[in-house]
Amino acid sequence: VVGHHLASAPFGRRGSKMVTHNKKNRKKRGHVSAGHGRVGKHRSHPGGRGNAGGQHHHRIHFDKFHPGYFGKVGMRHFHLTKNQYHCPSVNVDTLWSLLDEETRTAALENKGKGKAPVVDATSLGFFKVLGRGRMPEVPLIVRAKFFSKTAENKIRAAGGAAVLTA
């Protein structure tokens, strides 16, 4: 097969490489410095290395493409304890899906008679119960650290109970 060694190239026949004889620098061959001034010039790092000069000679680039790169904003919070603010929440409309399939079917059959299923939100990783969405008209006992007013009202309206835990 002709050109079988080219078949593995990632982009078509020649891959992503440009053919050397099409490159612009071919024109400059034979002229000592190929357009880079006298011998010995065009070396090292003329603009500095990396992000050098962001507030000096590269200011325009930094201001245009990286606004807000320099400086501070707001106040520092020393000794920030993230655990203090950790309060994952769950909405009333998803409480029902936290129960397993058997408990759900049993609760729907009983519908108010017998024991109400218990959803322990804290053990499932949710600290607060919020009131978005609709709840099925089946009593549920929900245990959590915090409840919003609307969540509590919706749970009570369905005949359930909102139990606060430590």
Residues 151 and 122 in one domain: yes
Residues 14 and 70 in one domain: yes
Which one is predicted more confidently, 141 or 14?
A: 141
Residues 43 and 95 in one domain: no
Average pLDDT over residues 131-143: 94
Encode pLDDT of 6-62 as tens digits. 555 555 565 678 899 999 999 999 999 898 998 888 889 999 999 999 999 999 999
pLDDT of residue 16: 73
| The domain boundary residue, chosen from 31, 55, 74 | 74
36, part of any domain: yes
147, part of any domain: yes
CB contact set of 166 (below 8 Å; sequence gap of 6+): 145
Residues 134 and 63 in one domain: no
Tokens of 108: 């729907």
CA-nearest of 105, 148, 108 to 126 is 148
Please report, in angstroms and rounded to a whole number, the separation of the first and last CA atoms in the chain.
76
Average pLDDT over residues 77-82: 94
Average pLDDT over residues 107-120: 88
Residues 88 and 160 in one domain: yes
Say which CATH number the domain at 115 has: 3.100.10.10
113, part of any domain: yes
Residues 67 and 114 in one domain: no
Sign of CA dihedral 97, 99, 103, 108: negative
Residues 129 and 158 in one domain: yes
Q: Does residue 4 carry a pLDDT above 90?
A: no
Domain that holds residue 7: 1-74
Nearest-5° angle of CA 109, CA 115, CA 120?
105
pLDDT of residue 164: 98
79, part of any domain: no
% of the chain with per-residue pLDDT over 70: 91
Encode pLDDT of 146-159 as tens digits. 999 999 999 999 99
Mean pLDDT taken over the chain: 90
| The domain boundary residue, chosen from 30, 54, 74 | 74
Residues 157 and 118 in one domain: yes
Global pTM value: 0.56
Total domain count, the chain? 2
Strands 118-120 and 89-91: unpaired
